[in-house]
Amino acid sequence: MSQTLNIQNLHASVDGNEILKGLDLEVPKGEVHAIMGPNGSGKSTLSKVLAGHEDYEVTDGQVMMDGIDLMDLEIDERSREGLFLAFQYPHEIPGVSNANFLRAALQARLPKGEEIDAVGFYKEMYAKMDALSMDRKFTGRAVNDGFSGGEKKRNEILQMMMLEPSYAILDETDSGLDIDALKIVAEGVNRMRCPERGFLVITHYQRLLDYIVPDVVHVLFDGKIIKTGGKELAHELEEKGYDWLTNELVAV
């Protein structure tokens, strides 16, 4: 079985507007791929389509995760199969405490009849919160409810650390974080890098990639990957912007 997230010729629309226009991308396990691109190019659309957001209609193409056709799976099944998305704009879930939310998410992964070990769960959650410098009061607070932008982003990473996905997509996790929080979050991500896990790190700015150094950088523009390179591509984009690439396209 191929241990990779493979996207071929993906077309997706929202409200009848085509946003992804034939996107090809492959993230093998063990690698960190960054997606950069101007606002509105379809980065969040890609992440939501992969996660199975109902507003987005896939009109063509294929996404295979470790040999499984992702589009055949419901949202919760995708998660159980090992896909994780950290949202650009995390949702608030009033009335559900962070601890209960995480516990339910982990419980849902266990075989029927098996109960999560509460003591072990709290121990693990506290250790991971400590690693993210998150105060323990966040366990009792409703998920993201009234959290600041940076607190929400940290909470997304806590979810990722608890769920230990095979493929993690981080959509602009850097936005809303000050430099100290960014370093903490990046360290959390870096500690999770391993041969059994692939990352798709979506970011508008190169800054995050100083801390989460990617193996491969892709540029997404107008619903397609228009350039792929090594980590130095991110620095080139930081220096020169996106115009040199997009103008090249228009000229062709």
Residue 45 contacts which entry, ligand ADP, Mg ion, none (Cβ below 5-8 A, type-dependent): ligand ADP
- Rule CB under 6 A: which of 55-84 touch ligand ADP? 55
Q: Classify burial at 150, counting beta carbons within 10 Å of its beta carbon; exposed 0-12, middle 13-18, buried 19 or more.
A: middle
Binding mask 8-37 for ligand ADP (x = CB under 6 A): ------xx-x-x-----------------x
Does residue number 43 form part of the binding site for ligand ADP (CB under 6 A)? yes
Does residue number 146 form part of the binding site for ligand ADP (CB under 6 A)? no
Give me the residues that bind Mg ion (CB under 5 A), please. Answer: 43-44, 88
Contact by Cβ (8 Å): 231, 237: no
- Figure out which of the listed residues 12, 32, 34, 41 binds ligand ADP, where binding follows CB under 6 A: 41
Retrieve residue 33's tokens. Answer: 């791929």
Query: What is the DSSP pairing of strand 167-171 with strand 68-69?
Result: unpaired
Residue among 165, 179, 146, 149 nearest 87 (CA): 149
Does residue number 45 form part of the binding site for ligand ADP (CB under 6 A)? yes
SS3 assignment, position 124: helix
Cβ neighbours of residue 174 under 8 Å, at least 6 residues apart? 153, 182, 185, 203, 205, 207, 208
Question: CB-wise, 49 or 70, nearer to ligand ADP?
Answer: 49
Residue 15 contacts which entry, ligand ADP, Mg ion, none (Cβ below 5-8 A, type-dependent): ligand ADP
Other Cβ atoms less than 10 A from the Cβ of 250: the count is 7
Question: CB-wise, 125 or 172, nearer to ligand ADP?
Answer: 172
Residues contributing to the site for ligand ADP (CB under 6 A): 14-15, 17, 19, 37, 39-45, 55
